[in-house]
Each structure stands twice: as structure tokens, then as C-alpha cells.
Amino acid sequence: MPTIAHSAALDAARREFAGRDYLAACTVGLPSRATRRAVIADLDAAGAGRPDLAAYCAAVERSRGLFASLVAVGAERVAIGSQTSVAAGLVATALPHGAEVLVPDGEFSSMVLPFVHSGRDLVVRTAPLHDLAAHVRPRTALVAFSVVQSATGEVADAGAIVAAAAAHDALTLCDATQAVGWLPVAASAFDAVVCHAYKWLCAPRGVSFLTVSDRLAARMTPVNAGWYAGDDPWASCYGGEVELAPDARRFDVSPAWQAFVGAAPALALFAALDPVELHAHATGLAAAFRAGLGMAEPARPSAIVTWDDPDGSELGRLMSAGITASGRSGRARVAFHVFNDEDDVDLALAALGH
């Protein structure tokens, strides 16, 4: 396929990654050179007996602020953590016992199990993603969905879902783990957004974020509160008489320090890019790949392409050609990100005999 022109900023970002033939950002992102340097420098310092706790906390707060800028909310709306399921469990505390939660069919388990096992007798109901909005009803208390589905790459009609939820005064929880980093997400459109940063944001695993609206925060219980949920964490290390932070930080969990050391430069890389250009780059490569396979374009452009592969033979062809891809739910799955280019499309198509 012909080479697509990019801005100098996007080209510079692409040079930050050394990996080639890698089509699995939807599984785990690649570390940038800056992330690798930061993590190695921290390990070297700690190994020499000089761990820097102040620098760890600075990396956490820098990451919080950078993620806030990526999803267009203030940092006071962002809580930090390590797993999206923990954040979803916090959202469950805001629901009355017996309330109904609507989720898409085949939704990622971390967005379903916290409600199934909340201990609040919640009624978890499923419906097809493509018309999820039509299944919101007066008794629905929360609509929880991934804006981009992990197994299929389908992009939800988030606007329609939010509008339907608003019409019935239901809360909304959006998992943006498969979106932020290539698909612009405005967190203010939802009551909560959860996002693990180890995929499309190319951070080390162990860094996740939760954004909360004022109305949701007022209903949530900080059941995971520890010392880092205190208004002054270093003064909140002992006892039960701790003043929790007045904003979303009350929902923080103690951070995985080394992971945040690597996350800060990764988030800075994506925060510096034009999100419209990055979206066009990723979805353009995916569209070229679909065209090469003779696949129709989805209703909403996606950087993830999946197709039926029940016996894993298609995935095997890709892997045999040295291409890192993945398979989920009987489907082969490839993803195109900032570090991919037209050569990756051509190589993958050739491996599949196209």
C-alpha cells in the first residue's frame, strides 16, 4: 500500500518504539524508549540502595494529570489504581441492592464480574452491543460497557447509549482500556471511565485510572481506602482517624511505584500527539488491512480487526511469518497503533495469502 504522510510529531513518536511486525497493542502495548530508560534508571538506583520515594509519588501525580488531559477532565476527577475490576467494584458500591446493571453480550469479564459478585444482589442483564441503547429501561440503574470491545474490536455508539441512560436517569460506566491511545474519549460524557494503561497507552502493567462524576462520587463508598486515599498520604499511614481526600483521590489505591515510573513518559508521549491524526493513522492502517482481506468496514472505524478463525489456523499463519497477533473467542485479532506502518499491513496480508 502507498506510504501515508504524517506530521513530524507522529513520526517522532513512532521512532520511540523499536518493535517490528507487532500487531497486538490490544493485548499489551510496547514500551517506548523513554519508558525503558526510566524503568532501568529506577532499577539501577534502587539496586544501588537509592530508591527515591518522592520521585515515585511525583510520577504518580504526573501520570494522573497526563491521563486527565488525555480524556479531557480535571485531575481532581481522576483516581489511580492497578486494575479495572477494582474500579468497577467501587462503582458497584454506588448501586442500591437489587439494582439492574445492563452490559453488552460478551463484555470483558472485568466489567461484569464485579457486579455479579458485588454481594448486593444486583441483576446483571445483557443485550447486543449494536443496539444496547434500545435495551435501557426505567429500572436500569447502570449501563456498563467497553467503548471498544476486546474480542471483536467493535466500537460502541457511546452517544446513543449515554442519551438512553440519561432518559432513564441511569448511571454510565465506560471501560476505555481498548480505546484511549487511539480513539479520543471525553470522560465527562460518562459517570465513570475506567482504563488500564498497559495496552494502547504503552505503560507497564499495574497502572489504571478511574474518572468519576460528582453525582457518582457522592454515592460511592471508598471500600479500598488505604494510606494513599488520605488527603495527605504520608500523614495517613497509621490508624483509622485519617481524613480522606476531598476529590477522586479518596478512591486511590496504593500505587505500584515502578509501574508509574514507566507510565509517566508513556502517557506524556500520547498526550503530546494530535488525537485526530493518531486516530486516522491507526484506523487507516486497519481499513487498508480489511480492504486487503475483502472485509467490509464497520459502522464506526476501529483500529482492531477480527475475523472468524475457529481452529486458529489464520493466527498460526501470522505467527509463523514472525508477526505477533492474538486470538480471542474463536477469532483472529490484529491491532494497528502508532508504532505500525504500511509495511505491517503488507506483511500481514502476505502471511494470509492476500
The predicted pLDDT at position 325 comes to 96
The predicted pLDDT at position 3 comes to 61
Write the pLDDT tens digit of every residue in 29-82.
999 999 999 999 999 999 999 999 999 999 999 999 999 999 999 999 999 999
- Contacts of 285-294 with CB under 8 Å at 24 or more apart are 285/336, 285/340, 285/341, 285/342, 285/344, 285/345, 286/335, 286/336, 288/1, 288/342, 288/345, 289/334, 289/336, 289/345, 289/348, 289/349, 292/1, 292/345, 292/349, 292/354, 293/349, 293/352, 293/354
Which of these, 76, 86, 89, 113, lies nearest to 213 by C-alpha position? 76
The predicted pLDDT at position 229 comes to 96
Positions in the chain short of pLDDT 50? none
